[in-house]
Structure 1
Amino acid sequence: MAKIAFILLCHKDPDAIINQATRLTAAGDCMSIHFDARSKPEHFQKIRDALKDNPNVTFARKRIKCGWGAWSLVQATLYAVEAAVEAFPRATHFYMVSGDCMAIKSAEYAHDFLDREDVDYIESFDYFGSDWIKTGMKEERLIYRHFFNERKYKKLFYASFNLQKRLGLARDIPHDIQVQIGSQWWCLRRRTIEWILEFTRKRKDVMRFFRTTWIPDETFFQTLVRHIIPANEIRTRTLTFLMFTDYGMPVTFYNDHYDLLLSQDFLFARKISPEAHVLKRRLGDLYAAEGAEFQISNEGRSLFKFLTGRGRTGHRFAPRFWEKESTLGRERELLIIVAKKWHIGKRFAERIKKVTNVPMIQYLFDESSCPMPDLGGIQNSIGKRTRHRRALMRMLFDYYDTDRLIICMDPNNMDLMRDFFSDRSQTKLIEVESHFSDEYLLGHAMRVGLAGENTPQETIDRLLPTIRSDVMSESDTIRDEGFEGYFRISENGSSEMNTRALARFLTIPEDRAREIAETDHLFAD
C-alpha cells in the first residue's frame, strides 16, 4: 500500500504548518520540512518544539535562504528529499506540497489512487516545443547565467543579462538532456527519487548548468524525470489542483469552495486562504475519513473561466489599419441571424435560404467545423476568421457572386456585431428569442464544460440562475446597443408579429415571410 512522504517547503504561519503536518501524518503518512532560513527563528523553533515527538516528521538537515525563481528553491527541495529518503525507508511516494496546500481527498482515496498505477506524476513538457511559457524570457532562461535574483536585485539581474548578451557569452545546454518544463507540484515514486539523487551526485555538469538557470524549479525535476524514466511510466500532469487568474496570479480558495474542490480529479489543492478556517477544518477532517466517496466532475477550471468572464465587455484593441480602412462594399447587404440555440438558428437559416435563395453560412465565427468554401486558408480556423473578418466576408460575397449574404452568430459576439454595423455596407440583425428550460441550460453547461454528470446538485442549483442571467444579459446587451436594422422574432410571439419582423429583415413580401415564420417545429429542441 502507498505511503506518502510529503516534501514541504514553507516560510510562514507556523501554526498552519503544525496543523498541516499533524493532519497528514495522522493517517500514517510522513513529512519532511524545509523552513526558509529567511524566516523568523522563533517560528522555526515553534514548529520544531510542536513536532519533535512525532516520528513521522523530519526536517531538512540544512536550511537555506530561498528566493523566487532562484536555484535555492530546488536546493531546499533536495535537502528535504534527502532527509525524507533517509528517515522514511518505507515511503513509496514523495509528494511536493507548500504551506498553502491541503488535501481534497481522503488518505484512503489518495493511497488507492497511487496504488492503481506504478507511475510518476509530473508536468514535463518540451521546453522549446510547448507554449507553457506565455510571456517573458524563454531560451534566455537557460543559455545565459543568472547569478542575481530578479525580484531582489532587479538592476543587477538585467545588467548581468545584458552584458552577457553584448559579449556573446551564451552557453550550450548539456548535449544529452532535453529540457522540460512544468509545474513544481509533483508526486514521484521512491525509485525515481533515488535515481534523481544518484544523478545529482554523478552529473556535476548538469548541476552546474541548472544552478545558474532562471526559475529552475519549473525545469530541474521535470527534465531529470523525463531523462531517467521511460515515457510510459510518466503521467504528464500534477495531482495538485491549482488555477491562475488572467493576471497570472494563483486563484485562492475560500470556505464556499468545498464542494467544488472535492469534485476535481486531484488529490490536493492550492492556494487555500489563511482565513478559510471552515474550509481547512472540513478538509482536515476529510483526510482522516474512511469510506468517503467522491463524485468526480472536474469542471473547476472551465467554471472559473466562465464565472470570472461574466460582466466583462471585452473591448477589442485598436483595429488593424487594413481592417479599419476596408469595407464589405456599400452595395452589399449582410444579414445576421443571432440565436443562442444553434440548432434553431441553423433551422431558421436553412428555411430562409430555401424561401429566398440567399446564400447562407452557419455559425462560422463560433463553430470550427462549419462548412466553408476554400478561400486560401483564411477559413481554416475560428481565430483566422475572426481576426480577418472583413476580408473573409468580402471573399464570401465574391465566392457566391452575391450582394446579399446570411450568416449565423452566437449572441456573445458583440465585437463582431459592432464591427459589421460600423461598416459602410448595409447590415441587418434578427435575434431569435427562445425559451430556456432548466434542462436545456444544464445540457448547455455540460456541453461547454461548466458541469459534468457528477457535478453536485448544490453546485448546479447555484450555477443555473447564473447561466440564465448570462444568457439574458447577452440579449439585453444587443438591444441596448441600438443597432439600426435590429429585428426580433420570439418563440412566444404571435405569427403576425414574427412575420412582420421577418418581412422587414429580409425585405420580402409578408406572404413569403409568413412561410418562414410558420415553419413547423421551428423552435423545437
Structure 2
Amino acid sequence: MAKIAFILLCHKDPDAIIRQAERLTAAGDYMAIHFDARANPEHYDKIRKALNCNANVTFAKRRVKCGWGEWSLVQATLNAVQAAVDAYPRATHFYMLSGDCMAIKSAEYTHQFLDDNDADFIESFDYFESDWIKTGMKEERLIYRHFFNERKYKRIFYASMDIQRRLNLARALPEDIQIRIGSQWWCLRRETIEKVLAFVQQRRDVMRFFATTWIPDETFFQTIVPHVVPEPEIRSRTLTFLMFTDYGMPVTFYNDHYDMLISQDYLFARKISPDARDLKRRLGLLYAATGVNFQISGEGPSLFKFLTGRGRIGRRFATRFWETESTLGRERELLIVVCKKWHVAKRVLERIRQTTNVPAVEYLFNEDDTPLPDLGGIQTSLEKRTRHRRALMRMLFDYYETDKMIVCMDPTNIELLQDFAADRSVTRLLEIECSFTEDYLIGHAMRVGLAGEQTSEETLERLLPTIRNDMIFESDRIRDAEFKNYGRIREAGDLEDNTQALAEFLSIPTDAARDIASSPHLFAD
C-alpha cells in the first residue's frame, strides 16, 4: 500500500501545523517540515518540541529564509524532500503541501487512489505555448537574471531588468531542457524524486539557471520531472484542489464549502480559511474515517464561476439574497439595540455582555472599523455589509456558533430594521431614547460635517432645531413602523420601566435586567 511522505512548507500558525502533522501521520504516513528561517523562532521551537517524539515527522536539516517568487522556495522544498528521502525509505510517494491545505478525502481513499494510479501527478505545460500565465511577465521571467524580490524591491527589480534589456544581456535557455510551467502542488513517486535529486547533483548548470529565474517554484519541478520521467507516466494535473478569482487571487474555503469540497476529484484542498473551524473539524474527522463512499461530481470550478458571475457574496458559497432560504434561520434571535448616541449604546452593550455572555457586535452597518472576523471579504466595507446584510448576519451566527446575537444600529437604518424584522428569525428591537443637550447637538453637527470650528453662533442657532427635529423624526419613524417585538428604555424614564423593557428584550430575569438599567453613568456623555 502507498505510504506518503508529505512535504510541508510553512511559516506561521504553529498550532495548526502541529495538528496537521499529527492528523496526517496518524494514518501511518510521514511528514518532512521546512519552517521558514525568516519566521518567528519561538514558533519553530514550539513545533519541534511538540513533534520531536513523533517518529513519522522529520525536519529539513537546513532552513532557508523564504521569499515569494524566489529560488529560496525551491531550495526549501529540496531540503525537505532530501530529509524525507533519508528518513523514510518506505515512503512510496512524496506530496507537496502548505499549511493552508487539508485533506478532502479519507486516508483510506487517498492510499487506494495512489495504489490504483501508478503515475506522477504534476501540472506540466509548455511554458511558451500554453496560456498558464494569464497576465504579467512571461519570457522575462527566464531570459533575465533576477537577484531582487519584486515585492520587496519593486523599483530595483524592474530597474535591473531594464538594464539587462538595454544592454542586450538576455540569456539563452538550457538547450536540452524544455521549460514547463504549472502548479507547485504535486505528488511524485519515490523513484521520480530520486531521479530529480540525482539531476540536481549532476546538472549544476540548470540549477544556476533556475536559481535566478523569477517564480521558479512554478517551473523547476514542472520542467525537471518530464525530463527524467517518460511522458506516459505523468498526469499533468495536481491532486490539490485550488481555484483562483478573476484577479488571480487564490479562493479561500469556509465552513459552508464542506459538501462541495469532498465531491471534487482531488485528495487535498487549498486554501482553508484559518477561521473555518467547523470545516477543519469535519475534514479532520473525515480523514480518519473508513468505509466512506465519495460521490465525485467535480463541479467546483464551474459552480464558482457561475456564482461569482451573479453577485456572489464575498468568496463564500453562502445563501444568496434572491433564494427562498435567504433567512437568518427560523430558530435564531437577532436583538437590535437602536440608539443615536453610539457611546451610550456601546456602554449598554458592554453591560449586557457582562451579564448575559450573548455575542454582541457594535455599529457594524455604521462604523467601518467595527471589529469583525474574516468572513471572506463580505465584511470589508460598509457598502458590502449593507448590501448583503442577511448573508453577513448569517455568517456571524455561524462564526460565533450561536442562535442568539446582539447588534447596534443607528436610527437612520430604518430599511435594515424593516428587512430584519421581516425575516423568519425572531427579531427584537430595543430603542434607547436619550436627551440631547445643545453641546451634544453642536458636536454631532461637526461630526457629520454640518458645522465646523468656524461656524458662527447665528448659523448654529438656526441649525440646532433642525437637527433636533430630525432626531425626533427618526425615532418617531421607528415607532410608526410598529415592529412586533419593540421595546424602549429612556434616559429620563423610570428605573422599573427600563428594567422591564430590558428583561423582555433580553429574556433575562428582572434582577439581572435591573443591574444593567441601574448602571452608573449609563447615559453620560
- Which TM-score band applies after superposition, normalised by the shorter structure? 0.5 to 0.7
2:85 aligned partner: 85
Q: Provide the rounded CA distance (Å) in 1 between the counterparts of 2:55 and 2:169.
A: 50
Structure 2 counterpart of 1:210: 210
Deviations along 1:151-205, whole A, 9 cap, x unmatched? Answer: 0111111111000000000000010000000000000000000000000000000
Q: 1:30-429, aligned counterparts within 5 Å? A: 30-311=30-311
What is the number of equivalent residue pairs in this alignment? Answer: 312
| Aligned residue identity for 2:79 | Y
Give the gaps of 5 or more residues in structure 1. Answer: 313-525
Q: Distance in 2 between matches of 1:160 and 1:127?
A: 23
The Cα shift of 1:311 comes to 3.8
Distance 2:193 2:30 in 1: 16
Q: 2:285 corresponds to which letter in structure 1?
A: D
Structure 1 residue runs of 4+, over 4 Å off? none
Q: How far 1:118 moved relative to its partner?
A: 1.3
2:388 aligns with none
TM-score (norm 1): 0.59
Q: Distance in 1 between matches of 2:18 and 2:281?
A: 14
Structure 2 distance, partners of 1:206, 1:221, is 12
CA distance in 1, matches of 2:307, 2:138: 31
In the aligned structure 1, how far is the partner of 2:113 from the partner of 2:181?
25
Q: What is the aligned-residue RMSD (CA, Å)?
A: 0.7
Corresponding residue of 1:16:
16
Q: Tell me which residue corresponds to 1:373.
A: none
Query: Counterpart of 1:90 in structure 2: which amino acid?
Result: R
Q: Equivalents in 1 of 2:60, 2:110: separation in Å? A: 25
Counterpart position of 1:496: none
Instruction: Look up the match of 2:351.
Output: none
**Distance apart, 1:257 and its partner CA:** 0.6
Where 1:206 maps in the other structure, the secondary structure is: helix
Distance 1:31 1:311 in 2: 41
Per-residue CA deviations over 1:411-450 (Å, capped at 9, x if unaligned) read: xxxxxxxxxxxxxxxxxxxxxxxxxxxxxxxxxxxxxxxx
Q: Which moved more, 1:17-26 or 1:152-161?
A: 152-161
2:286 match: secondary structure:
helix
Could you tell me which runs of 5 or more consecutive residues in structure 2 were left unpaired when the two chains were aligned. Answer: 313-525
Provide the TM-score with structure 2 as the length reference. Answer: 0.59
Take 1:78 and 1:187, find their aligned partners in 2: how far apart are those partners?
Answer: 14
| CA distance in structure 2 between the aligned counterparts of 1:286 and 1:29, rounded to whole angstroms | 16
2:145 alignment partner, SS class: coil
What fraction of aligned residue pairs are identical, expressed as a percent? 78
Counterparts of residues 364-513 of structure 1 (less than 5 Å): none
Q: Which residue of 1 aligns with 2:491?
A: none
Deviations 1:3-61 (A, max 9, x none): 00000000000000000000000000110000001111000000000001000000000
